[in-house]
Structure 1
Amino acid sequence: MHPNLKPANPNFSSGPCAKRPGYDVSKLDLSVLGRSHRAPIGKKALKSACLDTAKILGLPEGYRVAVVPASDTGAMEMAMWSMLGERPVDVLYWESFGQGWATDIIQQLKLENTRVLNADYGQLPDFTEVNCDHDVVFTWNGTTSGAKVPNADWIDSNRKGLTFCDATSAVFAQKMDWVKLDVITYSWQKVLGGEGGHGMLILSPRAVQRLESYAPPRPLPKIFRMTKAGKLIEDLFSGATINTPSMLCVVDYLDALNWVESLGGEAATIAIADQNLTTIETFVEQFDWVDFLTQDSKIRSNTSVCLTLNLTPKQIKSVLKLLEEHQVAYDIGAYRDAPAGLRIWCGATIENSDLEALMPWLEWAYHSVKKQIL
């Protein structure tokens, strides 16, 4: 017999992720809808998105925050196309999205002086090989592999190059050493459970200096341009977006930021993700048929938790089908390029009680499929 208790919210997708507990779209401040994003009311909302982000994350003085098009992908492409090429590049990857940045750097930007340091899913490359006199491009948390950077100790404080960090499934869930990072990108749809389509771009003063001193030898689309006449377009970092954003998505993001503040800030959302990971670790320790794709607990993600099962890929699909049919877990299959398995989102919008309810269902679905009782 299957368990009786079901998760109250079966949405464990790794993006778009579950909305925050208690979310009610009708409670959003909709006064900006139907108004121009250039009008004072629109500018105020967008400026708040930038300034409140900096305050809640505790960014160092001089760091700038902007809302940009096309989610985390847009923010990363914008930064790479605008700034890379001034010096050699070290690009690190251990999962599909990081590999995508390497592909773009080599095949699209065609930067010949590029070194690739990579590792298999669930592992990390050798950070001692990184040359911090080069520009360094990496993901903080491997969304499709469940492996994260444990810290930024490997980044030289006196580096000559810039660090470009895709942090989309890490920001608000993992403690980040901001002074070691020069370009940071993320999207609203991950840890805060916001809407897709918009990216956040954070620049250090060193990154701004690069923008103002280096003109890349390639044409830049309008949505990538952050300078004019050799100077940073400061308005971009106070809410004057490059193109028209969805103001509904903006107020949704502001609602998420208010929720983080109500919990006690970034430390509280990190603690929620840590607790969620602990729940799954406790479950995995009990059985020999399930394990983490990332074996080393020191580099194991507390957001995109990837599991392996001693089942065939076809059997794993049957497990997923069972869980969906019983409405206990949606969208938890491994990413298409990753090894077959499960990927359960454990960010701050996931309630621990829902994960606790899900675990017995995983056990039931596994044994049901193993015995072919479908």
Structure 2
Amino acid sequence: MQAEQHLPFELPPVTFYPGPSKVYLQLSRYMQDAFTQGILSINHRSATFMEICRKAIEHTQAKLNLPDGYKVLFVSSATESWEIIAQSLIGRKSFHLYNGAFGQKWMEYTQKIHPASNGFQFDVNQALSPDDIQVPADAECIALTQNETSNGTQVSNAIITQFKQKYPHMLVAVDATSSLGGIKLDFIAADIWFASVQKCLGLPAGLGLLIVSPRAMERAREIGDNTYYNSLLFMAENIEKYQTHYTPNVLNIYLLMRVMEEVEDISIIDKRTRQQAHAWYHFFEKYTSVSPIVTNTAVRSDTVIAIGADKQQIAFIKERTKQAGIIIGNGYGSWKETSFRIANFPAISLQEIQDLQHCLAGVL
């Protein structure tokens, strides 16, 4: 997607916060179009909305290279997907693999619905391997976070595939909140994927995508949950008509349609994202006062760059970048005061990256 030029207003500070993050500049035009075309006032059961919904789904399927038969469902956020998976796709027990705050929160939320669910916590520098972990035989679903936003780690497509191959009778569910739309994901390697749009998809917060395989839908029919407004079977029934199970965020679905019409194929975005991530890590290698939280280069995230230093240095860096009109992300959890995070998302321009690096070079 090309950079938008000659905007009729002054831009706010550039944000590298890893969600909500910078939106595509084209959204100023898309939102004006939505207003003038009456999109903001349409009924969500109308033919107009159903056409927008259809196009948003089809463009998303095409640009992300989703396998045939995988459904795209709209939810309020990635967090809501935790609940939907627990209600509709797990009968008694899931097994969670996590090394950070968001993976752990997913497990803890699932335990509120299915107390028998448990998991395995691994170190931030550990590369997951199914050979090193024994998943309980009675687990129905393996849940893992592909990109852990809190600490800047990621799990490769190859490893996700290995878990599915070793445990073919279990569903595999993947939190791709900080990577969907930024790197190429091997969707066939798992049955359930979910994310929010305010990160790599370059949209405002308030919409999530839940992607489910035919196998996941078969499991949903076996469990037969139809108790809740967001039961997966009810959601799937509605999306067949290009409608939703609730009054949706019509504007964001419209914006998703417009963005996915114009963005490049994920294979092109993936190459650029990984090149920029490599450049970021190389940039920080030049300085001794800071270093990536993750020392194992094989598990470092390509979309969230997490950098550690002492508390005073972190506070100084954040203040100086703020003075320069640039916002970087705070650390999270146990790293809150001793790290900062940088979003490496597609909507952020090369010029903005260079501006931040120039600013950082003056304080490191």
TM-score interval, normalised by the smaller of the two chains? 0.7 to 0.9
The answer to whether the Cα contact below 8 Å between 1:28 and 1:252 also exists between their aligned partners in 2 is no
Moved more, 55-64 or 236-245: 236-245
Which of 61, 78, 90 is equivalent to 2:84?
A: 78
* Separation of aligned partners in 1, 2:241 and 2:308: 44
Cα gap change, 1:141 to 1:338, in 2 (>3 Å): same
Q: Is the Cα contact below 8 Å between 2:164 and 2:190 reproduced in 1?
A: no
Q: Report 1:1-374 matches (<5 A).
A: 10-25=14-29, 26=31, 28-30=33-35, 31=37, 32-68=39-75, 70-86=76-92, 88-106=93-111, 108-112=112-116, 114-128=117-131, 129-131=133-135, 134=139, 135-151=141-157, 152-157=160-165, 159-215=168-224, 220-222=227-229, 224-227=230-233, 233-260=236-263, 263=264, 265-309=265-309, 311=310, 313-327=311-325, 329-338=326-335, 340-366=338-364
* Sequence identity (%): 22
The SS at the match of 1:154 is helix
Structure 1 residues 189-236: Cα deviation after superposition (integer angstroms, max 9, x where no partner):
1101112111111111110011101146xx9432x22226xxx74332
Contact 2:182 2:201 in 1 (8 A): no
Letter in 1 for 2:257: L
Q: What amino acid is the match of 2:205?
A: G
CA distance in 1, matches of 2:125, 2:119: 17
Give the whole-Å Cα distance in 2 for the aligned partners of 1:185 and 1:50. Answer: 14
| TM-score normalised by length of structure 1 | 0.85
Amino acid at match of 1:103: E
Aligned-residue CA RMSD (Å):
2.4
Q: Give the drift of 1:272.
A: 2.4
* Partner secondary structure for residue 329 of structure 2: coil
Q: Which residue of 2 aligns with 1:372?
A: none
Q: 1:211 to 1:153 in 2, by over 3 A?
A: closer
1:90-123 alpha-carbon deviations (Å, 9 max, x no partner): 20111111010111122x11331x3411124454
Deviation at residue 280 of structure 1 after TM alignment: 1.0
Whole-Å Cα distance in 2 between the matches of residues 154 and 55 of structure 1?
25
Query: Aligned with 1:186: secondary structure?
Result: strand
Note the C-alpha offset of 1:240: 1.0
Q: 1:76·1:166 contact (CA, 8 Å) conserved in 2? A: no
Q: Determine the C-alpha separation between the residues in 2 that align with 1:248 and 1:122.
A: 40
| Inter-partner Cα distance in structure 2 for 1:82 and 1:117 | 23
- Quick one: which amino acid aligns to residue 86 of structure 2? M
Cα distance in 2 for residues equivalent to 1:81 and 1:124: 30
1:284 deviates by 1.4
1:4 aligns with none
5+ residue gaps, structure 1: 1-6, 367-374
Does the residue aligned with 1:33 lie in a helix, a strand or coil?
Answer: helix
| TM-score in terms of structure 2 length | 0.87
Q: Partner letter of residue 148 of structure 2?
A: G
Q: How many residues align?
A: 344
- Give 1:146 shift: 0.6
Matched position secondary structure for 2:73 = strand
Match of 1:60, SS state, is coil
Counterpart Cα distance in 1 of 2:57 and 2:26: 24
The answer to whether the Cα contact below 8 Å between 1:226 and 1:236 also exists between their aligned partners in 2 is no
Asked if 2 retains the 8 angstrom alpha-carbon contact of 1:46 and 1:240, the reply is yes
CA positional deviation for 1:130: 4.8
- State the AA in 2 paired with 1:147: T
Q: State the alpha-carbon separation in 2 of the partners of residues 238 and 204 from structure 1.
A: 18
CA separation in 2, counterparts of 1:64 and 1:207?
Answer: 10
Deviations 1:31-78 (A, max 9, x none): 22211011000111112222221122221111111112x211112321
Rounded to whole Å, the distance in 2 between the matches of 1:302 and 1:80 is 29
Aligned-pair CA distance for 1:27: 5.0
User: Counterparts of 2:286 and 2:317 in 1: how far apart (Å)?
Assistant: 19
CA shift at 1:175, angstroms?
2.3
